[in-house]
Amino acid sequence: MRKMGVPYPDGYENIANSDLDKQAKQISEKLAKENKIKISSDKEILALVAYLQRLGKDIKLQDKK
C-alpha cells in the first residue's frame, strides 16, 4: 500500500492485523451497546463499516481545506 501512496508508518505491517482486530472489536461493541446489534468481531461487514467510517472522515477533512 505504501507503493500506492498510503502513508503507513514504518513497521506498521508488523502490527496491522492486531490493529484491525482492535478496530473490529470496538465497532462490534459499539453496535451491541448503542443499537443492540450483536455481531462477532470477525465478520467482513465490520471491515465495510470501518471503511465507510474512514471514508466519511477523509471526506470531512477534504471539505475543511
Burial group, residue 23, by CB count within 10 angstroms (0-12, 13-18, 19+): middle
Mean pLDDT score, 51-62: 74
Looking at the chain, how many residues does it have? 65
pTM over 0.95: no
Q: Does residue 62 have a pLDDT over 60? A: no
Burial group, residue 44, by CB count within 10 angstroms (0-12, 13-18, 19+): exposed
Q: Tell me the per-residue pLDDT of 1-53, one tens digit each, with 9 for 90 and over.
A: 788 888 889 999 899 899 889 999 999 999 999 999 999 989 999 889 888 88
pLDDT for res 6? 82
pLDDT for res 57? 73
pLDDT for res 8? 86
